[in-house]
Amino acid sequence: MSRVIGIDLGTTNSCVAVMEGNEPTVIVSADGARTTPSVVAFTKDGERLVGAAAKRQAVVNHQRTVQSIKREMGSDYRVRIDNHSYTPQEISAMILQKLKKDAEDYLGEAVTEAVITVPAYFTDSQRQATKDAGRIAGLDVKRIINEPTAAALAYGIDKEQAQKIMVYDLGGGTFDVSVLDINADVIEVLATAGNNRLGGDDFDTCVADYLAAEFRRSSGIDVTRDAAAMQRVREAAEKAKIELSASLNTTVNLPFLAMGKEGPAHLELTLTRAKFDDLTRHLVQATIGPMEQALKDAGLTGSDLSKVLLVGGSSRIPAVQQMVKSFCGKEPFKGINPDECVALGAAIQGGVMLGTVKSLLLLDVTPLSLGVETVGNTFSRIVDRNTTIPVKRSQIFSTAAPFQTSVDINVLQGEREIASANKSLGRFRLSGIRRAMAGVPQIEVTFSIDANGIVNVSAKDLGTGKAQEITISGSSNMSEAEIQRAMQDAQRFAEEDKRKHEEEERRWKKHQKQQPGASADAAGSSGNDDGAEDAE
Ligand code: AMP
């Protein structure tokens, strides 16, 4: 059987790993890096760039560069380039295709199966969208697992001692916190909480807004509507943020940021860590609520935790580390690489699915409650949040009006008592109910959640035995026909890219042969002209 790769499809960066023997290993990309920027760009001459190449040209081609698409997964957001409109699933599939290709080059064999991670707090439609992105990229997604759970797998695989841990995962665009019980070969998630729209990008926005305001104060020029200038400001903001994780101050230097009445204006200022902490304090504070909730749902307090693992690039921010430390009353554990442990955990889960990693049982939970809308805009819960998955639960409902022969079932996910305040995952109609007075028909609604956290709902009129079953696919998700079309597009592009690549290689080798005294093979294997010259 072929290998199953583990993919951390991140908001900012992605990472791919595979089991080699008993050890999960990060796969180094074609660019020689251990993570790949989750960036896709469309050049004016129709070329598609993914990863570092796309990130490098973002400033000069910002309108045709797509970043942080993960934030839009499961929504009806579309990326419009020329006459084509791309779903977030299709853009994510381009990133997945690159990771798949890197894995194939590394392993020297075709890769068709993967485990992909998602934030624990992803809703059903976001999970479904991630699975669809995998399919479009030509991957059979064997399992969707939660990022903090994957991190705990990477941490806990060889832990003999029973312990309860917390995983605090602050990435580029999402925040998750999970409390887990690790006991011999069983890793059980006790509770999870989070915020799907909180991450490093928000820290960048705070700093970028501050830089733009300071620039306006010193030069009188408002750059906020100049997209190219703002792209530079955002990049400088992220760079400053990262530098401030290691030093107490940093300088931001953006020459020729805009043209003023008196000529070009430059932005130059020193940003201190104290100022950065001031600007972003509310974001750090916003992670406390989910931590409290996860601990409460798990029935624990900070002192019950043996370890707190920090995951995600943004957990390197010193103010974040200090806050976690004071909240949990212990120094966070630094023994795992926050950028790689999620992909490593996904690779381990791949090994479990292949049977190469033995006797490891992973018990995860559903992050949000599920139920249906009933009379008076009420949310009737059927599955509570933090219920271990897979799970199947039923409840009997009835009609609200006399002689009602059909019911509309609005499937909801969320924690609010008011139905309309929760996310509707989809609606369906059960018709053909036997005519009877209100409250007489018995309609059994059953929710089943599979190990990926993906929801199936069925409704059955117990009087007639008539049933309706749906796999939830909200209006924002792609239809089967759309997925099939996208798969064909992706395949066509992969072949085109391969052809272009081979053509370039042929041209390059021919060019090398024409160079007197240079051996194409020697230079090809070093990939470096200087190396070939040195050898002479
Ligand atoms: P991830 O999604 O886990 O790859 O996290 C990416 C986020 O982490 C981005 O917002 C990065 O800017 C941020 N990040 C990476 N390294 C650091 C660092 N040293 N300090 C602060 N933020 C960082």
pLDDT tens string 473-483: 554 577 888 88
Q: Is the dihedral of CA 472, 477, 479, 483 positive or negative?
A: negative
C-alpha span between 292 and 310 (Å, rounded): 16
* Ligand 1 atom at minimal distance to the Cα of residue 312: 3
Average pLDDT for residues 424-449, to the nearest whole number? 91
Could you read off the pLDDT of 217-240 as tens digits, one per residue?
A: 999 999 999 999 999 999 999 999
- At 306 the pLDDT is 93
CA-14 nearest atom, ligand 1: 4
Helix axes 88-107, 480-514, angle to 10 degrees: 50
Residues whose CB falls within 8 Å of the CB of residue 244, separated by 6 or more in sequence, listed in order = 250, 271, 272, 273, 276, 317, 318
Residue 229 tokens, joined:
């200038």
Cα(322) to ligand 1 centroid in Å equals: 17
Ligand 1 mean position to 171 CA, how many Å? 6
* Strands 175-183 vs 307-311: parallel, antiparallel or unpaired: unpaired
Give the distance (Å) from ligand 1 centre to CA of residue 308.
18
Burial level of 98, CB count in 10 A (0-12/13-18/19+)? buried
Most confident of 31-45, 347-361, 476-490, 505-519: 31-45
Instruction: Give the pLDDT band (50/70/90) at residue 470.
Output: low
- On the question of pLDDT at 534 being above 70, the answer is no
Mean pLDDT, rounded, for 101-116: 96
- Distance in Å, CA 404 to ligand 1 centroid: 55
Write down the pLDDT at residue 498: 75
d(CA 170, CA 166) in angstroms, rounded, equals 13
Greater confidence, 196 or 513?
A: 196
Give whole-number Cα distances, 296 to 228, 300, 304, in Å: 46, 6, 12
Looking at residues 138-148, what average pLDDT do you find? 96
Nearest CA to ligand 1 atom 15: 313
pLDDT band (50, 70, 90) for residue 106:
very high
Task: Pick the more confident residue, 261 or 222.
Answer: 222
For the CA atoms of 116, 118, 124, 130, what is the dihedral angle to 10 degrees?
-50
Nearest in space to 186 (alpha carbons), one of 211, 149, 218, 213: 149
16 beta partners: 7
User: CA–CA separation, 179 vs 293, rounded Å?
Assistant: 10
Atom of ligand 1 nearest to the CA of 338: 3
Number of H helices, E strands in the chain: 13, 27
Which two tokens mark 148?
């903090």
pLDDT at residue number 499: 79
Six-digit token pair at 297? 């749902």
Half-sphere exposure of 64 (CA within 13 A, CB side): 17
Neighbours of 402 (CB within 10 A): 11
Q: Name the residue of 8, 11, 12 to mutate for ligand 1: max ligand atoms within 8 A of Cβ.
A: 12
* Residue 159 pLDDT exceeds 80: no
Span 500-522, average pLDDT: 65
Name which residue sits closest to atom 18 of ligand 1, judged by CA.
242
pLDDT interval class at 529 (50, 70, 90): very low
Confidence of residue 2 (pLDDT cuts 50, 70, 90): confident
Q: What is the pLDDT of residue 515?
A: 65
Is residue 102 over pLDDT 60?
yes
Looking at residue 474, its pLDDT comes to 52
Which ligand 1 atom is the nearest neighbour of the CA of 173?
2
Residue nearest to atom 1 of ligand 1 (CA): 171
**How far apart, in whole angstroms, are the C-alpha atoms of residue 170 and residue 301?**
21
pLDDT band of residue 471 (cuts 50, 70, 90) is low
What six digits make up the tokens of 435? 């005519």
In the predicted structure, residue 146 carries a pLDDT above the cut 80? yes
What residue spans of 259-340 are helical by DSSP H? 273-285, 288-298, 318-328
Q: Which residues are catalytic?
A: 8, 70, 147, 169
Q: Whole-angstrom Cα distance, residue 168 to residue 401? A: 48
| Site to substitute for ligand 1 among 38, 169, 242, most atoms within 8 A of C-beta | 242
Pocket of ligand 1, candidates 7, 206, 314: which has the most ligand atoms within 8 Å of its Cβ, to mutate?
A: 314
Sign (positive/negative) of CA torsion 235, 238, 243, 248? positive
- Whether residue 410 is predicted with pLDDT greater than 90 in this model: the reply is yes
531: pLDDT strictly greater than 60:
no
The residue whose C-alpha atom lies closest to atom 14 belonging to ligand 1 is 313
> pLDDT at position 496, please?
80
What is the residue with the minimal CA distance to atom 7 of ligand 1?
Answer: 172
Q: Which pLDDT score, from 0 to 100, does residue 196 have?
A: 86
Over residues 168-174, mean pLDDT: 94
Ligand 1 cavity residues, CB under 6 Å? 10-13, 171-172, 200-201, 238, 241-242, 245, 312-314, 316-317, 339
pLDDT of residue 357: 86
Q: Are the C-beta atoms of residues 175 and 169 closer than 8 Å to each other?
A: yes
- Average pLDDT of the residues in 181-185: 88
CA 176 to ligand 1 center in whole angstroms: 15
Task: Give me the chain's average pLDDT, please.
Answer: 90
- R_g over Cα of the chain: 26
Q: Is the pLDDT of residue 527 over 60?
A: no
Neighbours of 108 (CB within 10 A): 6
CA-nearest residue, atom 19 of ligand 1: 242
Residues 64-74: pLDDT tens digits? Answer: 999 999 999 99
Nearest CA to ligand 1 atom 20: 242
Q: What does the pLDDT average to over 290-317? A: 95
Atom of ligand 1 nearest to the CA of 244: 20
Residues 271, 273, 277: CA angle, nearest 5 degrees: 110
Indicate which atom in ligand 1 lies nearest the CA of residue 10. Answer: 2
pLDDT of 167: 96
CA of 173 to the centre of ligand 1 (A): 10
Q: Say how many Å lie between the CA of residue 514 and the centre of ligand 1.
A: 45
Q: Which atom of ligand 1 lies nearest, measured to the CA of 169?
A: 3
Evaluate if residue 518 carries a pLDDT over 50. Answer: no
Distances (CA, A) of 279 to 220, 283, 295: 22, 9, 28
Please give the distance, rounded to the nearest whole angstrom, from the Cα atom of residue 65 to the centre of ligand 1.
20
What is the whole-number distance in angstroms between the Cα of residue 242 and the centre of ligand 1? 7
Question: Do residues 119 and 196 lie in contact, with contact meaning Cβ atoms separated by under 8 Å?
Answer: yes
Choose among 131, 143, 109, 151: nearest CA to 15: 151
